[in-house]
């Protein structure tokens, strides 16, 4: 492992050329050397002559100009004149068009990373005046001065110490399971450990010195969210989950944590990115979601599994999402799950019901107001957009917005800024907007009651939450989940549910969806007083409409010895689509009674319908 050393001087690079040749001759086994000048210069013949006196040939040496070093990194940079020293200490900056590099004499666009900076002041022999012998003496003096400094650098142990320090540092980094890479304020990567190579599929040699966006943009690792110049380091998002495509084409899920490294000693700051491969963990989480709750939502049905997958996918971006579904279906839970799955989970989640407020109050609620903006505005107040800065804003019941307010909201979404009511100063915030509604916005657009341009601003990614009656197979899991929550709230044992009651719950149409089921189970828990929940404990609209008869007859523990199965029950070893269709027609679509008619359990029928949907 060799230390990378750069010798840098001003317009004439003869000093750095001689220093490079000397270091190679004195310590080529532990260090590599490169020389450069702030501007391009050829090899000075007097430098060649005095180096030949020591048996070091630099006649064919190419000293690079600073722009040629753009994709190189160094452990140590040794400046040999004051202009070069000042150059290395200047902060990196671009000209106003943010594209063209500034004058290299007043700008540091190249030295990537944070190398050790040393300064050896050596007079420029090319500026010596006098006879040829006097000029040659000046070159010998500069050569000897450089040789003396290099011998001190080596004999004092400084070179060996820096080399060992770098070796240990890289050994520690490469022993980590977590991928690490660091880039400077120009996004040039100067540190990339072995785990980062394994996780991204990129080799260290291919990425060092390159713009991280140029390396990773196609794979999904870098986006506008992590640009260094996006804002001050404190505004950088610290955690985010993302999907990438590796160099070999493999899809992987990563957790990336970004930390700003503060500037010191007048030098620019850097960004540390830590990568953790959570592909297998995510896969396990998906498996668990098929049978357990996901962000307080329960579902084993195909429609809910698809909803969970959609939440996971949209959480990796910042696109607006329109969540539709009937009242009580869980639209706010879906919105909160998107927030909690996203890189914004550390920020606020701020919901607002747009249908519950008149326009003048809604405007103040969303955008805030300044003191004296209207009667009663005794002090300035932040709105929901400001409160959600760095997080997520949910606009619930967005279909209830008036045409006038639709225009105001559209302007905010387009311009990404707003003013408080009564204020004049534009305010910009970093907010992801989610919208939810139980109404058919597409139909409202066709009818002219909802703006088409606002609809497409809000509905970049649509998610529909299924009604409970369309996922009846989730009722048993939901019931167990809700009863466990009720037990925690009331500090009481978890209530049990009889088979007859569960059949009734699965047969009900649930016009109020999950919210209605929660209320029904709370009602039944109070009435049952710790006993198993029976049909008569349920609200009357459920236990009197679940069957044709007003109440359920008691179910005998054992049938009489002489009894035989009712002739209406068809015992079958294997269900067929034709038999299931006939049973559903005969029972008017009631799946619970159809299952009884077919002589199978309701779960068996639900599984069959899930695997073999009827036309």
- Per-residue tokens: 413: 């979404």
Q: What is the CA radius of gyration of the chain?
A: 36
Task: Pick the catalytic residue from 88, 222, 226, 354.
Answer: 88
- Per-residue tokens: 96: 């106003």
Helices (H), 9-121: 14-27, 45-52, 82-89
Q: For residues 348 and 390, is the Cβ–Cβ distance under 8 A? A: yes
Q: For residues 401 and 358, is the Cβ–Cβ distance under 8 A? A: no
**Residue for token pair 């209605």:** 516
- Per-residue tokens: 286: 């998906």
Count other C-beta atoms under 10 Å from residue 265's C-beta. Answer: 7
DSSP letter string, 472-536: GGGHHHHHHHHHHHHHHHHTSPPPPB-HHHHHHHHHS--TTHHHHHHHHHHHHHHHHTTSPB-GG
For the question of residue 88 being annotated catalytic, the response is yes
For the question of residue 226 being annotated catalytic, the response is no
Closest by CA to 467, choosing from 296, 604, 310, 303, is 303
Closest by CA to 413, choosing from 424, 428, 402, 401, is 428
Cα–Cα distance measured from residue 404 to residue 419, given in angstroms and rounded to the nearest whole number: 16
Burial 481-504 (b: 16+ CB within 10 A, else e): bbbebbeeeeeeeebebbebbbbb
Task: Pick the catalytic residue from 9, 14, 212, 226.
Answer: 9
Task: Pick the catalytic residue from 81, 212, 222, 354.
Answer: 81
Count other C-beta atoms under 10 Å from residue 437's C-beta. Answer: 23
- Per-residue tokens: 265: 């000693």
Q: Give the single-character DSSP code of 537.
A: G
For the question of residue 81 being annotated catalytic, the response is yes
Q: For the chain, give me the number of helices (H) and strands (E)?
A: 23, 17
Maximum Cα–Cα distance across the chain: 133
Closest by CA to 275, choosing from 201, 363, 338, 358, is 201
Q: Which helix (H) or strand (E) holds 416?
A: none
If DSSP codes are grouped into helix, strand and coil, which group holds residue 224? helix
Q: For residues 66 and 36, is the Cβ–Cβ distance under 8 A? A: yes
Q: For residues 173 and 191, is the Cβ–Cβ distance under 8 A? A: yes
Phi, psi of 431 (to 5 degrees): -135, 135
Q: How far is CA 340 from CA 234, 236, 347, 430, 452, in A?
A: 21, 18, 9, 16, 30
Closest by CA to 518, choosing from 507, 503, 505, is 505
Cα–Cα distance measured from residue 155 to residue 151, given in angstroms and rounded to the nearest whole number: 6
**What are the catalytic residues?**
9, 81, 88
């Amino acid at each position: 492992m060799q230390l990378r050393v750069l010798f840098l001087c001003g317009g004439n690079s003869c000093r750095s050329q001689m220093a490079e040749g000397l270091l190679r001759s004195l310590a080529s086994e532990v260090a590599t050397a490169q020389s450069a000048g702030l501007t391009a210069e050829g090899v000075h013949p007097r430098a060649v002559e005095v180096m030949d006196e020591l048996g070091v040939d630099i006649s064919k040496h190419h000293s690079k100009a600073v722009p040629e070093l753009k994709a190189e990194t160094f452990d140590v940079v040794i400046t040999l004149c004051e202009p070069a020293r000042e150059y290395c200490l200047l902060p990196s900056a671009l000209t106003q068009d943010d594209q063209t590099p500034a004058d290299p004499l007043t700008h540091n666009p190249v030295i990537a990373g944070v190398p050790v900076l040393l300064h050896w002041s050596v007079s420029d022999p090319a500026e010596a005046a006098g006879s040829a012998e006097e000029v040659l003496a000046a070159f010998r003096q500069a050569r000897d001065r450089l040789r003396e400094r290099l011998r001190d650098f080596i004999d004092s142990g400084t070179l060996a110490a820096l080399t060992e320090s770098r070796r240990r540092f890289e050994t520690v980094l490469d022993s980590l399971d977590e991928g690490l890479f660091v880039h400077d304020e120009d996004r040039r990567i100067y540190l990339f450990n072995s785990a980062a190579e394994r996780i991204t599929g990129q080799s260290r040699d291919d990425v060092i010195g390159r713009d991280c966006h140029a390396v990773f943009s196609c794979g999904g690792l870098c986006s506008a969210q992590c640009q260094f110049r996006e804002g001050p380091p404190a505004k950088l998002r610290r955690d985010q989950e993302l999907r990438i495509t590796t160099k070999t084409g493999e899809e992987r899920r990563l957790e990336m944590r970004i930390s700003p490294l503060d500037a010191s000693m007048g030098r620019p700051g850097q960004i540390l990115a830590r990568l953790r491969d959570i592909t297998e963990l995510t896969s396990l989480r998906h498996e668990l979601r098929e049978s357990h709750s996901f962000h307080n939502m329960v579902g084993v049905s195909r429609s809910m599994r698809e909803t969970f997958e959609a939440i996971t996918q949209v959480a990796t971006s910042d696109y607006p999402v329109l969540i539709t579904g009937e009242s009580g279906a869980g639209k706010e839970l879906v919105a909160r799950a998107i927030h909690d799955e996203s890189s914004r989970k550390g920020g606020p989640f701020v919901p607002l019901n747009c249908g519950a407020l008149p326009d003048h109050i809604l405007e103040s609620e969303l955008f805030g107001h300044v003191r004296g903006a209207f009667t009663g505005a005794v002090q300035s107040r932040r709105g929901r957009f400001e409160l959600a800065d760095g997080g997520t804003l949910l606009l619930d019941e967005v279909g209830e917005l008036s045409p006038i307010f639709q225009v105001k909201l559209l302007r905010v979404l387009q311009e990404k800024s707003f003013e408080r009511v009564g204020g004049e100063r534009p305010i910009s915030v970093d907010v992801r907007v989610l919208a939810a509604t139980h109404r058919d916005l597409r139909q409202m657009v066709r009818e002219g009651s909802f703006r088409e341009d606002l609809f497409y601003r809000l509905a970049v990614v649509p998610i529909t939450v299924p009604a409970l009656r369309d996922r009846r197979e989730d009722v048993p899991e939901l019931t167990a989940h809700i009863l466990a929550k009720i037990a925690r709230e009331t500090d009481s044992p978890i209530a049990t549910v009889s088979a007859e009651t569960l059949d009734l719950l699965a047969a009900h149409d649930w016009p109020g969806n999950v919210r209605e089921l929660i209320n029904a189970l709370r009602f039944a828990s109070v009435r049952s007083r710790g006993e198993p929940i029976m049909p008569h404990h349920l609200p009357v609209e459920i236990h009197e409409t679940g069957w044709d008869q007003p109440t359920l007859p008691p179910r005998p523990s054992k049938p009489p010895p002489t009894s035989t199965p009712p002739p209406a029950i068809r015992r079958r070893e294997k269900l067929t689509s034709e038999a299931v269709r006939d049973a559903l027609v005969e029972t008017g679509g009631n799946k619970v009674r159809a299952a009884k008619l077919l002589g199978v359990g309701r779960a068996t029928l639900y599984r069959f319908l899930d695997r073999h949907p009827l036309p």
